[in-house]
Structure 1
Amino acid sequence: MSLREAVAALVSDGDLVAIEGFGHLVPVAAAHEIIRQGRSDLTLARMSCDVTVDQLIAAGCVSTLISSFVGNSSAGSLHELRRRVEHDDPAPLRLEEYSHGGMVARYTAGASRLPFAAINSYRGSDLPTLNPEIRTVTDPYGSGDIYVVPALRPDVSIIHAQRADEHGNVQAWGILGIQTEAAFAADRVIVTVEEIVDDDVIRSDPNRTIIPAHAVTAVVECPWGAFPHAVQGYYDRDDAFARRWSELARNPHEMHVWLDANIRGTSDFDAHLELVGHPRDGRLNVTEAFPSPVNYGGRR
């Protein structure tokens, strides 16, 4: 599908939407298309909130955020998120907070079709007093009470990856987050990729397949689809953009002018890239660093 078609068909107002990718492989283009199509009242699940989340909140797409980290990496705060949480300005944002381990446990339970997952690391933490969804049950094997978190079952999960074939067998490398579990936990899955490749490319290195085709609803070829974040082996992170956003988002008026011009006012993600300063100029190029070859063997 095209990205416009995928979001139109698979993301609805009021959905629980997971947008995952850890450090790199962030599905920015898909998030922008959600803004462009004016989706609203979404519950957004994302372990590591970033500029993309700030933009979705500012655009009025998100009413509830489920997360375990918020911040603009090394560039500062997410000022729209802070206005919503700290001052209900211009409207409140419901924040459901977990640890990273808690989020992993929730996705894993959802992918396994279990009602909840046990997690030991909340002992001594204040999070259970702040989040009533973190509860305790009695261990049936006799060790006493243990903390549990509810399964996370998104209506739609969205991820970005390096490549896939046209069937939707998705391959990724570098730092991986919770993409596989988020996909299997969801009812629908949108995957954007830097390139769609022949089946033979996928079959030549099967261990890089993090999501098989049968779990994918739509696959979209979307070069630079994680910009301004990085994609291992394809392009680097645009730290300058992250710093600019931290300053821009301090002023709500300037932030909304930027959103109207650079996202809502663009026809697609390529048009957005042209406006913000096209990254194809080479400034985010990465050097080549190939792994040692692997012999998978085979029958004679």
Structure 2
Amino acid sequence: MTAAPPDKRLTLEEFAGRITSGMTVGIGGWGSRRKPMALVRALLRTGVKDLTVVSCGGPDVGLLAAAGRIRTLVAPFVTLDSVPLEPHFRAARESGTLAFEEWDESMFLWGLTAAAHRLPFMPVRGGLGSDIPRHNPRLRTVTSPYEDGEELLAAPALRLDVALVHMHRADARGNGQCLGPDPYFDDLFTEAAEETYLSCEQLVDGFEGPPQTLLVQRQNVTGVLHTPYGAHFTGCAPDYGRDEEFQRAYVQAAKDPEAWAAFQERYLGGDEDAYQEAVGARTGADGPGRDGRGRKDTPA
């Protein structure tokens, strides 16, 4: 008799209780696009600290940096897209409160690929001739064993204890579907990690659409979390766009400690339901995005 497939659904509290200080945490998405923000907010409600964060950074890095939770950041950039430099990341760099390993995007891609394939490194041309190797003693070069004898940069494997990703649709077994125009590196994050926690806009029993949209495979997923609007305030196209008005308020609050304290109390002082209610109250809507910024309301 065939055993029933495992049900991997978790609450945000159950997920957060599995993350411990000192872990290496990879965070999917890109800048201010499809970030697993509900999972990041859940981490902020715990005492976890001294994290090594691996991310194509956006407000995920900003919030964790503002709360002093990051020991080391590995990233090619930290941006809000329409705002070039994430303000809390800027402040952390200027104050020296976190260590920063800057990789270019090709090195980042192949570091995740090496980890996904359980290899120690991948050879790349990216980074050669730049100051990145000079500022990062972890980076070495290798010589091709073939006739060309080319010198290449060895991008070390970006092995992760945990990966956090946000998908448009997922099932209880841990399969995740990406409906947006760009998968970013989310599949590689899940393959490079020992455990993956997948949040989703909708929890479904079956998937519609071409098979290549099934970006995340269940064997790589530890837990599934149903978090509608869970990428807010980043975008989750085609379900909803980035909340630019909220992002401007976030950037403005980051400029002043008192304003930031008030922002935290209003939006980050409670659980995820309280956050969504506060954002909805701000817009006069039932939830983020329902005021014309691109939300497509579909049944869960």
> In the alignment, what sits opposite 1:65?
73
Output the amino acid matched with 1:270: D
- Corresponding position: 1:176 with 2:183: yes
Residue 24 (structure 1) shift: 2.5
Contact kept, 8 Å, 1:29 with 1:269, in 2: the verdict is yes
CA RMSD of aligned residues (A): 1.8
Choose 116-125 or 104-113, whichever is displaced more: 116-125
Name the CA shift for 1:119/1:189 in 2 (closer, same or farther; >3 Å): same
Q: Tell me the equivalent position of 1:53.
A: 61
Task: List per-residue Cα deviations over 1:1-38 (Å, max 9, x = no partner).
Answer: 112111212x1111000111125221011000000112
* Cα offsets for 1:159-194 (capped at 9, x unmatched): 000001111111102211111111011000000000
Letter in 1 for 2:130: S
What is the CA–CA distance in structure 2 between the aligned matches of 1:122 and 1:169, rounded to whole Å?
Answer: 35
Matches of 2:157 and 2:205, distance apart in 1: 36
Paired residues for 1:32-51 under 5 Å: 32-47=41-56, 49-51=57-59
Instruction: Select which of 187, 196, 217 maps to 2:203.
Output: 196
Q: CA deviation at 1:286?
A: 4.6
1:37-95 Cα deviation digits (max 9, x unpaired): 12111111102x2222111111121111110012222235323222221233xxx2100
Does the CA-based 8 Å contact 1:120-1:146 persist in structure 2? yes
Task: Quote how far apart the aligned CAs of 1:280 are.
Answer: 5.2
TM-score under structure 1 normalisation?
Answer: 0.88
If asked which structure has higher relative contact order (CA below 8 Å, sep 6+), I would say: 1
Deviations 1:208-260 (A, max 9, x none): 11111111000111100000111122111111122222221111332234224
The secondary structure found in structure 2 opposite 1:73 is: coil
Aligned residues: 279
Asked if the contact 1:51/1:245 (under 8 Å) is kept, the reply is no
* Superposition map of 1:82-231 within 5 A: 82-88=90-96, 92-142=97-147, 143-174=149-180, 175-199=182-206, 201=207, 205-231=210-236
Are 2:268 and 1:283 aligned?
no
Cα-to-partner distance string for 1:98-139 (whole Å, 9 max, x where unaligned): 001111111000000000111112222121111122210121
1:232 aligns with 2:237: yes
* Alignment partners' CA distance in 1, 2:245 and 2:66: 21
In 2, Cα distance between equivalents of 1:253 and 1:46: 28
Report the Cα distance in structure 2 between the residues aligned to 1:6 and 1:80, rounded to whole angstroms. Answer: 25
Task: Give the TM-score, by structure 2 length.
Answer: 0.88
Amino acid at match of 2:232: F
Q: Distance in 1 between matches of 2:275 and 2:296?
A: 26
What secondary structure is seen at the aligned counterpart in 1 of 2:166? strand
Q: Does the C-alpha gap of structure 1 residues 171 and 287 become closer, same or farther in structure 2, counting only changes over 3 Å?
A: closer
Indicate conservation of the 8 Å contact 1:76/1:246, yes or no: no
> Is 1:255–2:260 an aligned residue pair?
yes
For 1:83 and 1:285, how far apart are their aligned partners in 2? 32
* Structure 1 residue 7 corresponds to structure 2 residue 36: no
The runs of 4+ residues in structure 1 deviating greater than 4 Å are none
